């Protein structure tokens, strides 16, 4: 990439040396200076001698004002033009400096927040949602906005462009004991809410990763063994919950109500959950009578609750519907089907 400006990459460093080395090895020939900012005094910064000529180690971050003054002093003696680009990000938020033409053009008008694709636990999986990461601005904007880092740390920038670029590497570390459940069930973190958390998804085969991504340790996630999940749809009074819960990894009770406030996967016992879902009082689609519409609607809402136990393809799903219909199958088979076509109560 030919350029008549410099690129300064500010890295807020928390101690993950593998992520640091990935960034250095990937973009050493593009970035003019990597500015390393430890976020605590406990963080150790040992820089590979092969990249040391381009790495500037700042003192530990104290506050935005102090950091701005340190950076201004450094940039004032090392800048090339007022169009120089300054990137600031956490150590696990890595811009793709090979593809920044859109960023270059946009920063002539306003600052940029990069929206990174987030890989989770290892490169095989990513998170459905994307999040703001690196913040990019010109040297000119830096000089004229002394509070520019308050905008970054507070994420309260009002006039900015959001551009998708680069990668965020989430939880790429040696797993801890309390992360076992999350990793085995393909959850993004230990802080999950069964009603709102999506499982991580397979990384597309054509997704472009950094060529040196092998620097990062590989942590296997998921599980190979089967779990058994039971779903009692308006059927909880037909079984002995104490007995049946011993036979399944999870038991989910599903009821329906005309109330708008739903209850999703409330824990009412050891691996026993209760959901109360809203049932519309009129036909929302199609031309079926209300009774038949309700029947289809209830069946198709079951899938929403099945997702709250985070099933994997090999898991056994059993659904008892209204005490009559009893359906059993693997999630691999059920997950892409309409449940109104699977369940046919007598």
Domain boundaries, the chain: 7-215, 228-342
Instruction: Indicate the pTM of the whole model.
Output: 0.85
Joined together, the tokens standing for residue 18 give 């593998």
DSSP string, 284-315: -SSS--HHHHHHHHHHHHHHHHHGGG---TT-
pLDDT tens per residue, range 203-219: 999 999 999 999 998 98
Stronger pLDDT, 165 or 50, i.e. the higher one: 165
The pLDDT of residue 228 is: 97
Q: Over the chain, what is the mean pLDDT?
A: 92
201 contacts 129 by C-beta, under 8 angstroms: no
Residue 185 DSSP code: T
Of 13-22, 23-32, 125-134, where does mean pLDDT reach its minimum? 125-134
Of 63-77, 156-170, 252-266, where does mean pLDDT reach its minimum? 156-170
In this prediction, residues 162-185 reach a mean pLDDT of: 91
Q: Give the confidence band of 346 by pLDDT, cuts at 50, 70, 90.
A: very low
Q: Which CATH class is domain 7-215?
A: alpha beta
Task: Give percent above pLDDT 90 in the chain.
Answer: 75
Composition of the chain by helix, strand, coil, percent to 5 = 25, 30, 45
């Amino acid at each position: 990439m030919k350029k008549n400006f410099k690129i300064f990459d500010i890295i807020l460093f928390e101690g993950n040396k593998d992520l640091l080395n990935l960034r250095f090895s990937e973009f050493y020939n593009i970035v003019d200076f990597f500015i390393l900012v430890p976020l605590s005094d406990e963080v150790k910064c040992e820089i590979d001698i092969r990249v040391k000529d381009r790495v500037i180690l700042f003192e530990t971050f104290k506050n935005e004002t102090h950091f701005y003054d340190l950076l201004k002093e450094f940039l004032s003696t090392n800048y090339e033009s007022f169009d120089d680009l300054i990137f600031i990000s956490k150590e696990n938020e890595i811009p793709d400096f090979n593809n920044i033409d859109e960023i270059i053009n946009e920063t002539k008008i306003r600052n940029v927040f990069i929206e990174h694709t987030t890989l989770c636990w290892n490169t095989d999986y990513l998170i459905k949602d994307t999040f703001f990461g690196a913040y990019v601005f010109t040297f000119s904007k830096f000089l004229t906005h002394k509070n520019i880092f308050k905008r970054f740390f507070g994420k309260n920038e009002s006039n900015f462009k959001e551009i998708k670029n680069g990668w965020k590497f989430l939880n790429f570390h040696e797993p801890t004991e309390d992360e076992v459940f999350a990793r085995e069930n393909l959850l993004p973190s230990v802080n999950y809410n069964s009603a709102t958390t999506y499982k991580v998804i397979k990384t597309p085969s054509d997704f472009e990763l950094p060529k040196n991504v092998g620097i990062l340790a590989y942590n296997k996630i998921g599980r190979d063994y089967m779990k058994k999940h039971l779903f009692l749809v308006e059927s909880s009074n037909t079984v002995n919950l104490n007995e049946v819960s011993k036979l399944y990894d999870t038991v989910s009770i599903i009821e329906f109500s005309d109330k708008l406030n739903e209850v999703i996967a409330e824990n009412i016992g050891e691996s026993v959950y209760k959901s109360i879902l809203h049932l519309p009082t009129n036909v929302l689609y199609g031309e079926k009578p209300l009774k038949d519409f309700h029947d289809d609607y209830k069946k198709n809402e079951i899938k929403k609750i099945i997702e709250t136990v985070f099933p994997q393809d090999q898991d056994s799903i059993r659904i008892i519907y209204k005490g009559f219909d009893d359906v059993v199958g693997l999630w691999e088979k059920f997950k892409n089907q309409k449940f109104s076509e699977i369940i046919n109560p007598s």
